[in-house]
Amino acid sequence: MVVRRCNAIIASLYKVRHHFTMDVLKLLIQLHVFPHILYCLSVWGGAAQCRLHRVQKSLNFAARLVTGLRRSQHVTPALTSLGWLRIEEMVREHDCTHVFKAMNVERCPESIRNMFTTRDQVSQRETRATSAGQLHLPKWLLTKTEHGFAIRAACAWNGLQAETKRATSRSAFVNALVRSRKK
């Protein structure tokens, strides 16, 4: 339903694209399409790859609309020039932000906070993982478990750079994520 709704919005903007500048089209997409996608990011993370591909196709359609690219041209430069992330990157950053809130915000629910334990809470030895502030990944038997929020978010957190993890506030953390994205 979300993809269908987003495509309907983009298609209606496509019909009147000649009346707007590139900046106005970008703003209209960000106002009318992105809220639908961002609202469901927690769900998209555990979705099958074919579902993520459908969402990514909608984002690509929007990027082509704004930049005027043809279907035969590659869309990655357009996404980069617009500053839009791929859906997998959006999910990863969303998960990392939730892990940051779970570990650093006092008002975070205890059930979410208990999903994540650091390696130094589990292991007595001093290793690179404990010194880097990595999270403990429990063993799992089913591949479906890997797509669950706790495992997916912990893997994303462990993939971050150490200076990003050491941020003191949420805004500093988000800025560090943006800086690490540009590297």
How many degrees, rounded to 5, is the angle at CA 27 between CA 1 and CA 21? 120
CA torsion angle 6 8 9 13 (round to 10) = 130
Write the pLDDT tens digit of every residue in 93-149. Answer: 888 888 898 888 888 888 888 888 787 777 777 777 767 778 878 777 776 676 778
pLDDT of residue 121: 76
Residue 64 reports pLDDT greater than 90: yes
What pLDDT is recorded for position 105?
82
Mean pLDDT for the chain? 86
* Calpha distance 178→109 (Å, rounded): 26
**Half-sphere CA count of 153, side-chain side, radius 13 A:** 23
**Residue 183 reports pLDDT greater than 70:** no
Structure-block tokens of residue 168:
């003191």
When pLDDT is cut at 50, 70 and 90, the band that residue 161 belongs to is confident
Question: 10 Å Cβ neighbour count for 55?
Answer: 23
